[in-house]
Amino acid sequence: DAGVTQSPTHLIKTRGQQVTLRCSPKSGHDTVSWYQQALGQGPQFIFQYYEEEERQRGNFPDRFSGHQFPNYSSELNVNALLLGDSALYLCASSRRGSSNSPLHFGNGTRLTVT
């Protein structure tokens, strides 16, 4: 039973560029959420997708956008990269209607913006 998989594991980009991160949820899960974790901090909620739509959003600018595909996989896009976007980006999956079930996280994508 595959868990949450994310790609790539590491990425180096230059300021102003755009980046796309990918996530496949755990089998049986239909909801994907994305978190940003800066060095030395706890993860911060970016947004959540289910039924291919953004359902909830945290305090992140419109430069952060996403998509969910019919197979429940998801992408996180960040435009006009800033140095402050350097962080570990975590994808998490869950199943709707199971608010007491834990989120299952992937290993993350470490993004470095130079």
Q: Which residues bind another protein (CB under 8 A)?
A: 31, 33, 40-45, 48, 50, 56, 58, 88, 90, 92, 94-108, 110
CB of 6 to another protein, least distance (A): 10
Largest CA distance in the chain: 41
CB of 12 to another protein, least distance (A): 16
Which among 57, 113, 47 has a CA at the least distance from the CA of 85? 113
**Facing residues of 15 across strands?**
none
Nearer CB in complex with another protein: 67/104: 104
Nearer CB in complex with another protein: 13/110: 110
CB of 27 to another protein, least distance (A): 16
Run of H or E residues at 10 = strand 10-13
Residues sharing a CB contact under 8 Å with residue 21, sequence separation 6 or more, in sequence order: 6, 7, 8, 11, 34, 75, 76, 77, 78, 89, 91, 109, 111
CB of 87 to another protein, least distance (A): 11
Nearer CB in complex with another protein: 1/14: 1
